[in-house]
């Protein structure tokens, strides 16, 4: 690949936003290379974290930690990932994309190397935090590489593709054998996690983007806002990640984390409300259109959490682990890829709402089919339902993000930072909110079902053989767990249907407004 001085730029190739690369014409070979780099960066950005979060219980021994303690890794990654765009976007504009990109990946590589050397829970947490920061820059670089590779008429796809591809990491991670990851006290896993940022750095160095222009964007008040938001996001992520494991009102630190998140994020909003040039436009974020569609994006991400919590939990009742449902998540990966392809083939600014309706409909149908499961369910029994959910998830994110961006273009570039920040937060926090919600519903309804069974059964009941009481209790507990998981599927169905109705209403209102525009007063 050529270096920056080989490019010759004209004014019409200048990017609209500082921090983005110039957009000169490229050779076919370079375009192909850029597309490959973009796909690799978006897929690998969260792959290392998915390897960990999908196998927390099995990896606990290698970190000399309890299974419950491993959920802190998820909380830290999600929290840092949710707030990192607050720094990354302005950082790119002031310091340039290469410095931010290589800096974040270098930090991630150093943290992963420390985890290889010291191999304890603390270094694992630091590695997850660095991964959360690097993921934001990796996804942004994917967007810029695709923008450089695609013709101007197709650059709308550059925004949607990386966001959709990121979700493929979760099912792909489940295809990696557990024994391979936990070999020699998780050494294989740590080396694989270290290899990812190192390869990313090499690939980016061999395929540089054109340079960009830079502007001064940071103000000293940004530091105050950034510290408050970062602390709040990490506390919120950790609070949600640990809540359903330690239980909401059993562990005092869960409430303390949630309270701390509310106070620090509230303090950040208070600081921004007093600024002449706020980094986070509170008025924009309170716009009903943005609130509605960010809420729907959050609900969609919550629905996808069924594949990381409810489905594996249901299989665990039959003593199954990742290695025994590779086929299921192999098909889910194919369905997600199909969703990406169809989303890209049909993406149209005039039909974004209808694409979102179709995607949410697929998620609802998948959840409905899963509701007919039972305690004897096998991985092959859930292929159709989980493929529908995976397909709908990747079909949804592109139109949802582009709708938000289209609203940004109406208001001007000053609201780009808060919009991207909130959308990224919904996708990051949505996963941990979904797991906390579904796990909590499962546990609560399980306990309720056990209580109901206990009221009907008694050791003094003449119909019960005392020698079989232990076996009967075990069966009752197992059946109650199945009821809990089926209720979590029903909750996902309700969420998806509710989101579908909201989008349908928005689409109807938009259609009516276009046909009957308001007359401006003369």
374: phi then psi, degrees, rounded to nearest 5: -150, -175
pLDDT band at 459 (very low <50, low <70, confident <90, very high): low
Token pair for residue 389? 């959910």
Segment 1-21 shows an average pLDDT of 66
Q: Report pLDDT for 26.
A: 84
pLDDT band at 376 (very low <50, low <70, confident <90, very high): confident
Segment 50-69 shows an average pLDDT of 85
Tracing tokens 């369910």 back to the chain, one arrives at 377
Q: Report pLDDT for 5.
A: 47
Segment 344-358 shows an average pLDDT of 84
Segment 32-40 shows an average pLDDT of 92
Residue 31 burial (10 A CB sphere; 0-12, 13-18, 19+)? middle
Q: Which residue in 439, 465, 434, 354 sits closest to 400, CA to CA?
A: 354
pLDDT band at 342 (very low <50, low <70, confident <90, very high): very high
Q: What is the DSSP string of 58-93?
A: HHTGGGT--TGGGHHHHHHHHHHHHHTHHHHHHHHH
Q: Report pLDDT for 339.
A: 92
pLDDT at 85 over 50: yes
Q: Report pLDDT for 365.
A: 93
Q: Report pLDDT for 514.
A: 67
Share of the chain above pLDDT 90, in %: 21
Q: Which stretch of 64-68, 412-416, 431-435 has the lowest confidence by average pLDDT?
A: 412-416
* DSSP label of 349: G
Q: Which residues contact 352 (CB under 8 A, 6 or more apart)?
A: 399, 400, 402, 403, 406
Pair 240, 436: CB distance under 8 Å: yes
Q: Report pLDDT for 463.
A: 62
Token pair for residue 95? 């310091």
Q: Which residue in 240, 236, 243, 241 sits closest to 259, CA to CA?
A: 236
* DSSP label of 468: G
Each residue of 357-370: pLDDT tens digit?
Answer: 899 899 999 999 98
Q: How many residues does the chain have?
A: 522
Between 1.20.1250.20, 3.40.50.10490, 3.30.465.10, 1.10.357.10, what CATH number should domain 14-216 receive?
1.20.1250.20
Q: Report pLDDT for 420.
A: 61
pLDDT at 59 over 70: yes
Residue with the larger pLDDT of the pair 297 and 47? 47
pLDDT at 387 over 90: yes
Q: Report pLDDT for 305.
A: 84
Each residue of 175-214: pLDDT tens digit?
Answer: 888 888 888 888 899 999 999 999 999 999 999 888 888 8
Q: Report pLDDT for 4.
A: 45
Q: Which stretch of 368-377, 445-454, 467-476 has the lowest confidence by average pLDDT?
A: 467-476
Q: Does domain 279-458+468-522 sit in CATH 3.30.9.10?
A: no
CA angle 23, 25, 31 (to 5 degrees): 95
Segment 126-131 shows an average pLDDT of 92
Each residue of 140-156: pLDDT tens digit?
Answer: 888 889 888 888 878 77
Averaged pLDDT score across all residues of the chain: 83
pLDDT at 1 over 50: no
Pair 445, 310: CB distance under 8 Å: no
Residue 447's CB: how many other CB atoms inside 10 A?
12
Q: Which residue in 58, 51, 326 sits closest to 173, CA to CA?
A: 51
Tracing tokens 């949804």 back to the chain, one arrives at 396
Q: Which stretch of 31-45, 161-175, 280-294 has the lowest confidence by average pLDDT?
A: 280-294
Q: What is the DSSP string of 298-311?
A: HHHHHHHGGGTTHH
Tracing tokens 């930072």 back to the chain, one arrives at 417
Each residue of 230-262: pLDDT tens digit?
Answer: 999 899 999 988 888 888 888 888 999 999 999
Residue with the larger pLDDT of the pair 17 and 165? 165
Q: Report pLDDT for 469.
A: 62
Q: Which residue in 477, 435, 482 sits closest to 56, CA to CA?
A: 435
Q: What is the DSSP string of 149-169?
A: HS-GGGTHHHHHHHHHHHTTH
pLDDT band at 284 (very low <50, low <70, confident <90, very high): low
User: What is the b/e burial string over 208-241, where b = at least 16 CB atoms within 10 angstroms of the residue's CB?
Assistant: ebbbbeeeebeeebbeebbebbbbbbbbbbbbbb
């Amino acid at each position: 690949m050529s270096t920056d001085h080989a490019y010759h730029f004209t004014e019409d190739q200048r990017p609209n936003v500082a921090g983005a690369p110039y957009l000169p014409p490229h050779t076919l070979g370079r375009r192909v290379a850029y597309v490959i780099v973009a796909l690799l960066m978006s897929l690998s950005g969260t792959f290392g974290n998915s390897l960990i979060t999908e196998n927390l219980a099995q990896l606990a021994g290698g970190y000399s930690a309890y299974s419950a303690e491993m959920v802190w890794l998820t909380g830290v990654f999600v929290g840092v990932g949710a707030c990192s765009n607050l720094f990354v976007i302005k950082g790119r504009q002031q310091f340039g994309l290469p410095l931010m990109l290589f800096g974040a990946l270098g930090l991630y590589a150093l943290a992963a190397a420390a985890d290889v050397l010291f191999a304890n829970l603390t270094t694992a947490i630091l590695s997850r935090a660095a991964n959360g920061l690097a993921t934001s820059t990796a996804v942004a670089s994917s967007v810029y590489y695709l923008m450089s590779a695609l013709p101007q008429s197709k650059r709308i796809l550059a925004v949607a593709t990386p966001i959709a591809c990121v979700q493929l990491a979760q099912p792909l991670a489940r295809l990696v054998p557990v024994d391979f990851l936990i070999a020699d006290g998780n050494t294989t896993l740590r080396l694989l996690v270290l290899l990812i940022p190192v390869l990313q750095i090499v690939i980016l160095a061999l395929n540089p983007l054109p340079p960009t222009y830079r502007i001064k964007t940071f103000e000293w008040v940004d530091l105050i806002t950034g510290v408050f938001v970062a602390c709040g996001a990490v506390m919120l992520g950790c609070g949600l990640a640990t809540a359903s494991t330690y239980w909401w009102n059993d562990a005092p630190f869960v409430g303390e984390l949630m309270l701390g998140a509310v106070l620090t994020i509230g303090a950040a909003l208070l600081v921004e409300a007093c600024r002449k040039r706020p980094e986070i436009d509170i008025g924009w974020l309170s716009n009903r259109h943005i609130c509605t569609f960010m809420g729907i994006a959050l609900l969609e991400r919550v629905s996808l959490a069924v594949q990381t919590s409810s489905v594996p939990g249901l299989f665990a009742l039959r003593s199954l682990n990742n290695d025994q449902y590779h086929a299921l998540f192999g098909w889910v990966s194919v369905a997600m890829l199909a969703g990406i392809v169809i989303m890209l083939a049909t993406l149209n600014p005039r039909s974004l709402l209808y694409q979102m309706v179709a995607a949410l409909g697929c998620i609802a149908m998948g959840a409905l089919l899963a509701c007919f499961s039972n305690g004897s369910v096998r991985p092959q029994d859930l292929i159709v339902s989980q493929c529908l959910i995976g397909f709908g998830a990747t079909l949804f994110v592109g139109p949802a993000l582009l709708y938000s961006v289209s609203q940004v273009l109406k208001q001007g570039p000053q609201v780009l930072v808060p919009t991207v920040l909130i959308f990224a937060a919904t996708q990051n926090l949505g996963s941990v909110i979904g797991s906390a919600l579904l796990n909590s519903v499962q546990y609560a309804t399980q306990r309720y079902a056990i209580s109901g069974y206990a009221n009907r059964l008694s050791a003094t009941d003449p119909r019960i053989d005392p020698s079989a009481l232990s076996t009967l209790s075990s069966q009752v507990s197992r059946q109650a767990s199945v009821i809990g998981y089926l209720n979590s599927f029903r909750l996902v169905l309700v969420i998806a249907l509710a989101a579908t109705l909201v989008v349908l209403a928005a689409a109807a209102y938009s259609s009516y407004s276009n046909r009957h525009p308001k007359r401006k007063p003369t």
